[in-house]
Amino acid sequence: MEGSPPTAGAAAPEVRDLGPLFDPRSIAVVGASEDASKWGGDLAARLLRSPAGRSIHLVNRKGGTVQGSRACSSLREIHSPVDLVFLAMPAAGFEDAVDDALGVGARAIVVVTAGLGELGGEGRERQRAAVERVRAAGGLLVGPNCPGVADTTTGLQAVALLDIPPGPIAFVSQSGGVGDEVVTRALDYGQGFTRFVTLGNQADVGIADVLWSLIDHEETRLVALYAEDLRDGRRLAAAAAACVAAGKPVLMLTPGRTEASSRAARSHTGALTSDSSVVDAVCDAVGAARVDTPDELVELAVGLLAGRRARGGALAITSDGGGHSAIAADVATAQGLTVPRFSEALRARLAGLLPVNAALDNPVDFAIASVDPSAHATIGRTVLESGEVDALLVTGEFGYWGARFPELAGPGDGEMRAALDLAALARDTGVPVVVSTVNKGRSPAVETLLAEGVPVYREIGSAARVLAGLARGSAAEPGGLPDLPAPSAEPVTADGYWAAREALSAHGIPFVPARLARDADEALVAARELGFPVAVKAMGLLHKSDAGGVVLDLAAPPALLAACEELRRRLCPTALSVERMAPREQGVELIVGCRQDARFGPVVLVGLGGIYAEVLRDVAVALAPVDHARARRLLEGLRGAALLQGARGRAPLALAAAAEVAAALSRFAAAHPEVTEVELNPLLVTPDAAVALDARLVLAPPASQT
């Protein structure tokens, strides 16, 4: 499966039974040692502490006593069936251990051992061969090169050196270290996990397999993953879409935005990192949220688990200090939120509640909360009940009094009441209420907020980022994950410009009128048919523009004949394409292209072309095929969309026609996996039409077309 792009049907579920992994009746640890700072030793000690009802077998080459229990010297000494085997011995013993595990009936094998596939070459081959035997026996293999698996809903704690706290999050990670950090951060918020799975080299079980197991997993309320290699990407995307559809937000931490992080990923687990813009497109399509760090992952998870999304980006900010609220307004706006002015009516209502020195507009500065913390809740309720905003951010020093003067009854009690009132306000209105305070985690009122499901952050930047996340895509892009059509029965076999023109024209892509000519005389006939001025292009060159194989703006026969002669002398073209000059000055040039992504299959890109491409670097990417509406949204989402929509009094351009071309090209690419790249550059969009002025098409090398 690895390396071959997905084809039609690859998105079908193919759900594997991970029961033996998450809820085994009996477990063995091979490589169980006495040293609890080593993975094998810690796993042994950890599993021995398992709740009753699960039999645990330790295996150590030397037998004897390990962690206070008797150890076998080989799996073969165990005479009862073992569901799940952890392999933590040196890599040299890998094959024998796998065979022994299958011999005792293991249905799941977790290979903790490193030094296999991630080294490439022979290690990868050893890993592949073992997976083949495990699959043939109907089993599954996790790893190699991973610290383990936990399922707090079944009492399985088997991640080396890490306690997994219980909670509603399922986390799947290729990296043990990142998993460690995510657990540490989650504990700061009192959050925990249903399932926690590290996958290492993903030799067999991949992220998609785990995601499919989570869709119906009742205790799991949110799914998060850390992945460097997204593998069978369409299948993963389909699983993520199904999780979102089942009401479980999906968070993706997937490095690879930069060339350097791809380098890190490639060398880490032999992973090929997916092109980052494609990952963004997948997240848009399925309604998953992409995050950049473990902190952001946990912060957003905490926000999403509160269960309230914002209808839009309009934010109210209330604070017990004007400095904090001014900073919050800046930070929130930088995150794409708005902090709109309140209506006269709302300002009047607030004036009735606040002292004369308070700021009554958004952001609201109470100026009294240090005396009366209940203002946090009463003002918040007045603001939210106005319906003028989509979310509330309470910032400043909430919880100050309880943290600073635990002995003072008045203000501390007021804060506790305000915490309960804020939680009730969020529940009553269904609107996100988020608190940012310097006193997080040290104040009873703050602990109350967290316990009542109101997210509290210590940094205003975190709070603003989460609020932006709650306002963004609460659902999949309309249309969601597109289905892949069956490959066309008539694959494309030629890749020259003229062949591309013909293939694409047949699929409804409009080109500027052109005639093929063998020589200057035929060119002249063609030009007279088309009407001057014309352009002439030399055929049979890979990059005809770069080679000077295109001559534009030939206004009359002498110029045309001279150009043909010059091209013949310099480039010996196989033929000439004579084309009617397009009215470039009346329009904007786009690039529209498709390519086959190794992980996610066909993707489509639209962007501004010509000089704008250089300056704006402004493109949008989506999984192909896209329909007309999706193509139009891609175009409208470009930063430079104003150029298409008639900026500065220009006539609006034929956006619908451009969208139709992009949709048609994406359908073509989706049905032609043998076409690895196809591009219209430029696609000229005028007020009346969209017409391709040039095309490029690349076929897969014959070997991989079989």
Scanning residues 290 to 329, which ones bind a second copy (CB under 8 A)?
A: 292-296, 317, 320-329
Among residues 18 and 460, whose Cβ is nearest to a second copy? 460
Among residues 5 and 313, whose Cβ is nearest to a second copy? 313
Interface residue with a second copy, options 129, 246, 351, 408 (CB under 8 A): 408
Site for a second copy in 216-245 (CB under 8 A): 226, 228
Among residues 55 and 338, whose Cβ is nearest to a second copy? 338
| Region near a second copy per CB under 8 A, out of 552-560, 594-602, 647-655, 685-693 | 647-655
Binding residues for a second copy, rule CB under 8 A, total: 90
Minimum CB separation from a second copy for residue 181, in Å? 4
Among residues 325 and 676, whose Cβ is nearest to a second copy? 325
Among residues 42 and 100, whose Cβ is nearest to a second copy? 42
Interface residue with a second copy, options 52, 648, 701, 703 (CB under 8 A): 648
Number of other CB atoms surrounding residue 618 within 10 Å: 17
Rg (CA), the chain: 31
Among residues 441 and 510, whose Cβ is nearest to a second copy? 441
CA-CA distances (angstroms) from residue 46 to 23, 110, 560, 597, 623? 16, 15, 83, 42, 44
CA-CA distances (angstroms) from residue 92 to 34, 57, 66, 123, 527? 20, 21, 22, 10, 73
**For the window 166-205, what string marks contact with a second copy as x by the rule CB under 8 A?**
-------xxxxxx-xx--xx--------------------
Minimum CB separation from a second copy for residue 360, in Å? 8
Minimum CB separation from a second copy for residue 635, in Å? 14
Among residues 190 and 646, whose Cβ is nearest to a second copy? 646
Nearest in space to 433 (alpha carbons), one of 389, 486, 474, 475: 389
Interface residue with a second copy, options 127, 201, 362, 686 (CB under 8 A): 362
Exposure class string for 6-28: b at 16+ Cβ within 10 A, else e: bebebbeeeebebebbbebebbb
Minimum CB separation from a second copy for residue 539, in Å? 23
Site for a second copy in 327-356 (CB under 8 A): 327-334, 338-341, 356
* Residue 459 in contact with a second copy, rule: CB under 8 A: yes
Q: Are 247 and 292 in contact (CB under 8 A)?
A: no
Site for a second copy in 22-41 (CB under 8 A): 37
Q: Are 436 and 458 in contact (CB under 8 A)?
A: yes
SS3 at position 527: helix
Interface residue with a second copy, options 124, 133, 568, 639 (CB under 8 A): 639
d(C-alpha 315, C-alpha 331), whole Å: 12
Minimum CB separation from a second copy for residue 404, in Å? 7
Among residues 88 and 108, whose Cβ is nearest to a second copy? 88
Minimum CB separation from a second copy for residue 482, in Å? 27
Among residues 115 and 533, whose Cβ is nearest to a second copy? 115
d(C-alpha 414, C-alpha 378), whole Å: 12
Instruction: Compute, in degrees rounded to 10, the torsion defined by CA atoms 483, 484, 490, 492.
Output: 130
d(C-alpha 439, C-alpha 506), whole Å: 66
Q: Provide the H-helix boundaries in 340-374.
A: 344-351
Minimum CB separation from a second copy for residue 289, in Å? 16
Q: Is 486 exposed, middle or buried (0-12, 13-18, 19+ CB in 10 A)?
A: exposed
| Phi and psi, residue 593, nearest 5° | -145, 165
* Residue 595 β-bridge partners: 603, 677
Among residues 118 and 151, whose Cβ is nearest to a second copy? 118
Nearest in space to 105 (alpha carbons), one of 83, 79, 78: 83
Minimum CB separation from a second copy for residue 178, in Å? 4
Minimum CB separation from a second copy for residue 465, in Å? 10
d(C-alpha 203, C-alpha 434), whole Å: 41
Max Cα–Cα distance, the chain, nearest Å: 101
Among residues 349 and 672, whose Cβ is nearest to a second copy? 349
> Pairing between strand 456-457 and 433-437?
parallel
Among residues 132 and 405, whose Cβ is nearest to a second copy? 405
Q: Are 236 and 291 in contact (CB under 8 A)?
A: no
* Residue 252 β-bridge partners: 225, 290
Please give the sequence-ordered ranges of beta strands (E in DSSP) within 160-270, or none if there are none: 166-173, 193-198, 222-226, 250-253
Dihedral of alpha carbons 486, 490, 496, 501, sign: negative
Among residues 344 and 614, whose Cβ is nearest to a second copy? 614
| Region near a second copy per CB under 8 A, out of 7-15, 405-413, 423-431, 561-569 | 405-413
Site for a second copy in 595-614 (CB under 8 A): 610-612, 614
| Region near a second copy per CB under 8 A, out of 2-10, 124-132, 211-219, 638-646 | 638-646
**For the window 111-150, what string marks contact with a second copy as x by the rule CB under 8 A?**
---xx--xx-------------------------------
| Region near a second copy per CB under 8 A, out of 132-140, 214-222, 229-237, 262-270 | 262-270
